[in-house]
Amino acid sequence: MIESFELERLKSIPIEQVAEALGLNVNRHKCLCPFHEDSHPSLSFHLRTNTFKCFVCGESGGTITLVMKALGLEFFPACCWLAQTFGIPISVEKAPRFRDIRPRTIRPVQKPVEPEKPDLSRLWPLLQKPSLTPLARDFLFRERGYRKEVVHWLRIGSAGTDLLIPYWNQQGDLLTVQMRNLMRRPGEPRFRFPRGSQCQVYNQPILRYLKAGEPLFIAEGVTDCIALLSTGQKAISIPSATLLKSGQLEELLEGVQRRLYGSISTPLNLQMFPDRDEPGEELFHQLQSLYPQIVRHQLPSDCKDFSDYYIKLKHGNSN
């Protein structure tokens, strides 16, 4: 019999270190699932509960279950394997000896650092009932020709000479606010974010409404995103290519795939109008390496980005 305090110690070995000891290659709290044919990592680790779960085949559990399933062991030998691998003394007789065990030390778990939260207390009241100054209306509707219902959906507001572009997540929490100065003096930046803001995917709430097979456009900045939405397309935007490193886009899109198809094996219908410049090309290629199915649309040679194209389309229609 293994004592209960000994079992607790085995259960509290960091689950990702157990997975690594089993030869699984853990990256960003995920790995290829050893329990089904997996080509895209579907097995996730939850550090808070110290458990694993595969979203495709449904296997789940803690450290001992992981060892039992991965090595095909019964409960007792799986406990002995863990104890021997991680050098945890357990008071049992006739413990099986395992060959080929590489002894491991338990490393301290790096707790994910809580990112600094931007202070949005001043902006929040302005965004609950957003109002638009004449300057903001002029920019949004006359100069850019955006559709009113789109601006309303995005809950864009204004204060002074700033346009306030809120970033919401799918649950409706305010993540940050991008401020665009509509009357900037030379040397002043066009866009600002509150201090402590993280790089975020823009227009995340639209993902809740994407239907199976429906095109989802990925734009390079908010203005292109608003222009795409104004043409009746569904669109999100990423403020910079560095966002791709965070895995946030992948996580959001995987959530959509699971909602629509129950797994991440059916690709989404992604589309893009790359900007006609080097960063635009670079971003498209980075996205294409993540999503080979992404459809490329070419802007006309006299349009540098989709906003530009949209303005020309609007003027073309009104002439």
Span from 12-20, 35-43, 172-180, 267-275 in contact with Zn ion (CB under 5 A): 35-43
Q: How many residues bind Zn ion (CB under 5 A)?
A: 6
Is residue 40 part of the contact set for Zn ion (CB under 5 A)? Answer: no
Nearer to Zn ion, 57 or 244 (CB): 57
Cβ 96 to Zn ion shortest distance, Å = 27
Span from 34-42, 100-108, 195-203, 260-268 in contact with Zn ion (CB under 5 A): 34-42
Nearer to Zn ion, 31 or 210 (CB): 31
Cβ 231 to Zn ion shortest distance, Å = 40
Is residue 291 part of the contact set for Zn ion (CB under 5 A)? Answer: no
HSE, side-chain direction, 13 A CA sphere, residue 164: 26
Span from 47-55, 61-69, 111-119, 233-241 in contact with Zn ion (CB under 5 A): 47-55
Nearer to Zn ion, 33 or 82 (CB): 33
Cβ 138 to Zn ion shortest distance, Å = 55
- Which pairing describes strands 174-181 and 191-192: parallel, antiparallel, or unpaired? antiparallel
Site for Zn ion in 49-68 (CB under 5 A): 54, 56-57
Cβ 38 to Zn ion shortest distance, Å = 6
CA–CA distances in Å: residue 26 to residues 15, 45, 54: 10, 9, 13
Nearer to Zn ion, 262 or 300 (CB): 262
Span from 33-41, 141-149, 161-169, 183-191 in contact with Zn ion (CB under 5 A): 33-41
Nearer to Zn ion, 56 or 127 (CB): 56
Nearer to Zn ion, 35 or 193 (CB): 35
Is residue 35 part of the contact set for Zn ion (CB under 5 A)? Answer: yes
Is residue 36 part of the contact set for Zn ion (CB under 5 A)? Answer: yes
Cβ 299 to Zn ion shortest distance, Å = 42
Cβ 1 to Zn ion shortest distance, Å = 32
Write the DSSP string, the chain: ---HHHHHHHHTS-HHHHHHHTT---BTTEE--TTS--SS--EEEETTTTEEEETTT--EE-HHHHHHHHHT--HHHHHHHHHHHTT-----SSPPP-TT----PPPPP-PPPPPPPP--TTTHHHHHS----HHHHIIIIIIS---HHHHHHHT-EEETTEEEEEEE-TT--EEEEEEEETTPPTTS-SEE--TTPPP--B-GGGGGGPPTT--EEEESSHHHHHHHHHTT-EEEE-S-TTHHHHTHHHHHHHHHHHHHHSSS-SPP-EEE---SSHHHHHHHHHHHHH-TTPEE-PPPTT-SSHHHHHHHHHHHHH-
Is residue 24 part of the contact set for Zn ion (CB under 5 A)? Answer: no
Nearer to Zn ion, 2 or 57 (CB): 57
CA angle 82, 83, 86 (to 5 degrees): 80
Nearer to Zn ion, 15 or 54 (CB): 54
Give the binding site for Zn ion (CB under 5 A).
Answer: 33, 35-36, 54, 56-57
